[in-house]
Amino acid sequence: MENTFLFYFRFGLTHILDWAALDHILFLVALCAIYTLLDWRKVLLLVTAFTIGHCASLIVAGMDWVRLPAIWIECLIPATIMITAIYNLWLRGDEERRQIYLMALVFGLIHGLGFSNTFRSMLFADEQVDLWWYLLAFNLGVEAGQVIIVLLILGVAYVALEVLEIKRKWWSMGLSVVALVMAGWILVERLVVG
């Protein structure tokens, strides 16, 4: 079981760190756009809220309790990125963002549903019994991958804000606009192909 646990942990880690997961990376960019390295605790809570939602939807889908048309989920994922980016652009100054934690949780549910079919198809018949164990391993890998990406984003933000002296407002707006445009492109592609 230990080797299988490590397999699913690595799979969760590489799932997030792969360019095929660009939509997930863009969501993290949009989520982190208004934060700095000093806000790492807030960002870690946001990422964890997202992972909890992601895990919950994988459990529900893994147990085959919910199945939604793939095209809905595939279109909702870039929409979550766009909503997060627009939310960032809507904010004024240092407004409190309490509702962003709920958004991260709900958007984690949506992103998890997007991956649920792949995860479910990976399980062999004899692994269904250990589903909870494998979901834990996978989501710990997802969390580790997200932390790596967040640290990279916050590190680049530090250089941009402290070394290059870019104004924080312009930095967060720039990241949000990039995430918004790229997510819009992904959404259009999925609508055209779907």
Helices (H), 123-167: 131-158
Cβ(107)–Cβ(80) below 8 Å: yes
pLDDT for the residue 145: 95
pLDDT for the residue 148: 95
- Report DSSP letters for 14-78, one per residue: HHHHSGGGHHHHHHHHHHHTT--GGGHHHHHHHHHHHHHHHHHHHHHHHTTS----HHHHHHHHH
Cβ(182)–Cβ(26) below 8 Å: yes
Please state, in angstroms and as integers, the Cα–Cα distance from residue 125 to each residue in 49, 119, 129, following that order.
30, 13, 8
Estimate to the nearest angstrom the gap between the alpha carbon of 73 and the chain centroid. Answer: 14
pLDDT for the residue 122: 67
Q: pTM for this one? A: 0.87
pLDDT tens for each residue of the chain, 194 residues long: 558 889 989 999 998 898 888 999 999 999 999 999 999 999 999 999 998 998 888 877 766 777 788 888 889 999 999 999 999 998 765 555 678 888 899 998 888 887 776 666 666 555 556 777 888 898 899 999 999 999 999 999 999 999 999 999 999 999 999 999 999 999 999 999 86
Helix (H, G, I), strand (E, B) or coil at 124: coil
